[in-house]
Amino acid sequence: MLTSWIDGRYLPHRRARVSVDDRAFLFADAVYEVVAVYDGRFIDARLHMERLANSLDGLRIAPPMTSRALSLVARELLRRNRLRHGYLYLQITRGSAPRWHGFPDPPVRATVFMSVTHKPAPGESPARADDVVSMPDERWQRCDLKTTSLLANCLAMQDAIDAGGSSPWLVAEDGTVREGASSNAWIVTRDGVLVTHPLCRNILGGCTRGRILRLARELQLRVEERGFSRDEAGEAAEAFISSSTSFVRPVVSLDGEVIGDGGAGEVSLRLYEAFIDSLRRGDDLTSGLDDNDIRH
């Protein structure tokens, strides 16, 4: 039986509850992080804590705990659940208050929730590939904040599934591919350039995205952080997505049309192998949840 943590209590996951007046339930007034765990250690914890701080600041939610306190709870959850591979889910809401669109005045205590999910250890190559369907990006204009307001993402995901795909790529009005519903989007051009959308308010700065950029430069790949169109993606040599739960996952088709030779590309596989190798070396796995304070 899984153990979760909510507002100071370790409980069986099925008994973890929040109030019906919690603003996450009423307004999606909350932020969250998903931190991957490899061999019992957190992956890129510092980047996740920095992004959590940015999301809290963007929603004007006062950080309820220090990073060190979050770390103690997170590590105890791993221990109690005997988690070796998987991920930690962390959510912070503005708290519970009578329903009103304005912020509670005076402020109420934030709700903090954590849970874990077990996954198999990652293999030597990606476990699956994606058939991507392009969808109009209908989300709000602060996608750089990792909030629980994900209805547009969920609708896009289901639309992609209904269209026979496995995930969507969200496309701006000018035809630029921004990102997936829960991932960053990448292509490799015919002349071998790795391309992904630059950081801005229209995409979420993925922690895995940052690690891949570093690894790509270590591999001496040519990298461009720029927008690319749906048409350019269709003509690419290869494509893939990245996220904390999938690492590097090849994209083999876009809107039913094969990308490249229809299989995992050489660059995608090199980056996946380098990613797994960096985890085995322990690169940046433990720093961040202990020494980075998210209070402002």
| Catalytic positions | 146
Can you say whether the dihedral through the CA atoms of 255, 258, 262, 268 is positive or negative?
negative
Coil, helix or strand at residue 22: strand
DSSP character string of 235-265: T-SEEEEEETTTEEEEEEEETTEEPTTSS--
What Cα–Cα distance (Å) separates residue 217 from each residue in 212, 221, 224? 9, 6, 11
Which one, of 256, 258, 136, 243, lies nearest residue 196 by Cα? 243
CA distance 254 to 230: 9
What Cα–Cα distance (Å) separates residue 249 from each residue in 53, 182, 243? 28, 12, 9
Which one, of 169, 279, 286, 186, lies nearest residue 239 by Cα? 186
Read off the DSSP letter of residue 201. T
Quick check: 57 and 296 in contact, CB under 8 A? yes
